[in-house]
């Protein structure tokens, strides 16, 4: 990672999983950035059907004169910041490569396991690492509102988190829905492990008092919709975010990448990036 200030240079962005849906969205947004960023390189699993194909401009389908790397180390060596929206399994490799090269790493991968979190935390001792379930500033501000409302409204309000995504999404509830749930639980002074009802399809009888429920739907090409419902005696409050285009996540990721590049080694979240306090 170079030492020049992020505010005085065009940042070289590496994309892990460059042939994926989010990878292609990120690539298009970088190429639209008019010099604020440049595409440093991309990596992809060697088992991906397009691994050997030349990379194309997603907007024009013109060749970029580049191919994807098959290993994480090469990607990190040529990038100022690496964006990772791949898989929990790949996150382990990317954590090791970030630490070895001291390159900033931004992780938006859903479904991270405890061992993945620990690996990323270890990497953050040598490189700046940002982990976020959702890169949209709007979503993260709504998560803060959820935390505040859960604390102020009191236990007489039931909390339900509803989400819908495209049919290809593998994890359920989504990472964003779980982030809303954790914020609500923290507002209530507890943890999601103790308060969460993660599978609403199994509910029978009356709703357990004080629990945080989740309702999950999958279908079509929905980029992502989340609603946090506070249902109390005689009134209902709903916080809703609807993503109409995956580009909002790419724009948020690039904004976060600029911020992250200027930070010392450490583990960060979108709360710090948005100036909302510690993660």
Q: Is the distance from CB of 144 to CB of 183 less than 8 angstroms?
A: yes
Q: Which of 94, 165, 226, 241 is catalytic?
A: 165
Active site residue 115: no
- Round to whole Å and give the CA distance between 123 and 100: 8
Active site residue 209: no
Determine phi and psi for 220, rounding to 5 degrees: 60, -145
Q: Is the distance from CB of 197 to CB of 149 less than 8 angstroms?
A: no
CB atoms within 10 A of CB 215: 17
How do beta strands 224-232 and 235-243 pair? antiparallel
Q: Which of 48, 126, 169, 211 is catalytic?
A: 169
Burial class (CB in 10 A: 0-12, 13-18, 19+), 75: buried
> Active-site residue numbers?
165, 169
């Amino acid at each position: 990672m170079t030492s020049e200030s992020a505010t005085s240079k065009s940042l070289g962005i590496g994309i892990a999983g460059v042939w994926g849906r989010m990878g292609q969205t990120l690539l298009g947004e970088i190429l639209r950035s008019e010099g604020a960023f440049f595409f440093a390189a991309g990596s992809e699993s060697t088992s991906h059907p397009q691994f050997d194909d030349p990379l194309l401009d997603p907007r024009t389908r013109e060749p970029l004169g580049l191919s994807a790397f098959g290993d994480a180390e090469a990607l990190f060596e040529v990038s100022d910041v690496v964006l990772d929206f791949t898989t929990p399994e790949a996150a382990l490799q990317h954590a090791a490569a970030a630490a070895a090269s001291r390159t900033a790493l931004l992780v938006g991968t859903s479904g991270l396991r405890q061992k993945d979190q620990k690996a990323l935390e270890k990497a953050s001792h040598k490189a700046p690492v940002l982990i976020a379930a959702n890169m949209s500033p709007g979503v993260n501000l709504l998560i803060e509102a959820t935390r505040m409302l859960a604390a102020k409204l009191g236990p007489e309000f039931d909390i339900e988190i509803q989400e819908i995504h495209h049919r290809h999404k593998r994890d359920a509830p989504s990472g964003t829905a779980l982030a809303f749930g954790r914020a609500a639980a923290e507002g209530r002074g507890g943890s999601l492990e103790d308060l969460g009802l993660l599978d609403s399809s199994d509910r029978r009888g009356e709703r357990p008092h004080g629990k945080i429920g989740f309702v999950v739907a999958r279908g079509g090409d929905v980029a992502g919709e989340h609603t946090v419902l506070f249902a109390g005696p005689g009134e209902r409050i709903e916080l809703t975010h609807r993503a109409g285009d995956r580009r909002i996540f790419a724009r948020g990721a690039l904004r976060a990448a600029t911020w992250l590049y200027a930070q010392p080694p450490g583990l960060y979240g979108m709360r710090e990036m948005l100036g909302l306090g510690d993660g």
